[in-house]
Structure 1
Amino acid sequence: MESTAPTDPRFDGPGPDAQYRQALLEGRFVLQHCEDCSAARFPPALVCRNCGSARLAWRASPGAGEVYATTTVRDRAGDYNVAIVELEQGARMMSRIDGIAADAVRMGLQVQAHIVPGDEPFVVFTPIAEGTA
């Protein structure tokens, strides 16, 4: 007996994590945006965290943001920071801030995203020099 139940296209093909990773492999930093409430979201998901809509679209992100929260992790191999960055689109993501001493990262610091290439690319941020944008 053949099923006549409607199918959900969100489950056809690669999932949102795989789509995000593929964009990074191609050198593109993208975020999902809800087509119903306009909220940007990270991490990738099947539905909007704000309104529950399944109508999410990928859009290129310019990668500019500011440090929302930060901490310094002290390790035998050296100190490093872990930061939550609020992107201009409104989404927040956890990463690190490169190009500055770990304990010099402060809330409100303006930063720019960069993709670290490789087999498993990822996004890090660097401070934006004052007077540039």
Structure 2
Amino acid sequence: MSSRDNPPDTAADLLLPVPDDDGAPFWEYAARGELRVQACADCDEPRFPPRPCCPHCQSFAARWQRMSGRGRIWSYVLPHPPLLPAYAAQPGYNAIVVELAEAPRIRLVGNLVSAADAPLNSVDPARLRIGAPVKVAFHAMPGGVTVPRWILERP
């Protein structure tokens, strides 16, 4: 039987994040439905991706700051065709870069969906617009990791 006769399980075959020591708290908070980014405990500058040392003041003191979960689409892409089989089964799959409202230098990557539990291809690509306001919606993936996805604030 060829791979064409047995299509991939799209949910199980999607790429999942692999948390490292610095980023593990981000994923732990996401599993609780909280969007948090690392911030310097000395100069209060938020930073992402997480890292041991503040790039602004070189402090090693850090804390995890809760974000509102609101932002705007800073950029997006519609892969044509998707390079991995599991994504090819997701017509209209999108990847967006979201600039957080209260930390404009922080940009997170995710997918624009119609609801937190919607399939990845649930938003008409014509609705993707730079600057569109979005809010976070967390989605539990196979393998126990919860990822932030994004929904339009004004659908």
TM-score normalized by structure 1?
0.76
Larger radius of gyration between Structure 1 and Structure 2: 1
- Which one-letter code corresponds to 1:82 in the other structure? A
Cα pair 1:35 1:57 within 8 Å, conserved: yes
1:1-133 alignment runs, 5 A limit? 15-75=21-81, 76-77=88-89, 78-90=91-103, 91-99=106-114, 100-118=123-141, 119-129=144-154
For each residue in 1:81-107, what CA deviation from the matched residue of structure 2 results, as whole angstroms up to 9, or x when unmatched? 111110013211111111231342111
For each residue in 1:12-61, what CA deviation from the matched residue of structure 2 results, as whole angstroms up to 9, or x when unmatched? xx822222222222222211122333322222221223443322210211
User: 1:16 and 1:87 mapped to 2: Cα distance?
Assistant: 20
Moved more, 37-46 or 77-86: 37-46
- Which one-letter code corresponds to 1:120 in the other structure? V
Partner of 2:12: none
- Which one-letter code corresponds to 2:100 in the other structure? L
Mark the runs of 5 or more structure 1 residues left unpaired by the alignment.
Answer: 1-13
Cα pair 1:74 1:80 within 8 Å, conserved: no
Cα pair 1:81 1:103 within 8 Å, conserved: no
User: 1:28 and 1:46 mapped to 2: Cα distance?
Assistant: 21
Q: Which consecutive segments of 4 or more residues in structure 1 shift more than 6 A?
A: none
Aligned length: 117
TM-score normalized by structure 2?
0.66
Mark the runs of 5 or more structure 2 residues left unpaired by the alignment.
Answer: 1-19, 82-87, 115-122
User: CA 1:102–1:41 in 2, change beyond 3 Å: closer, same or farther?
Assistant: farther
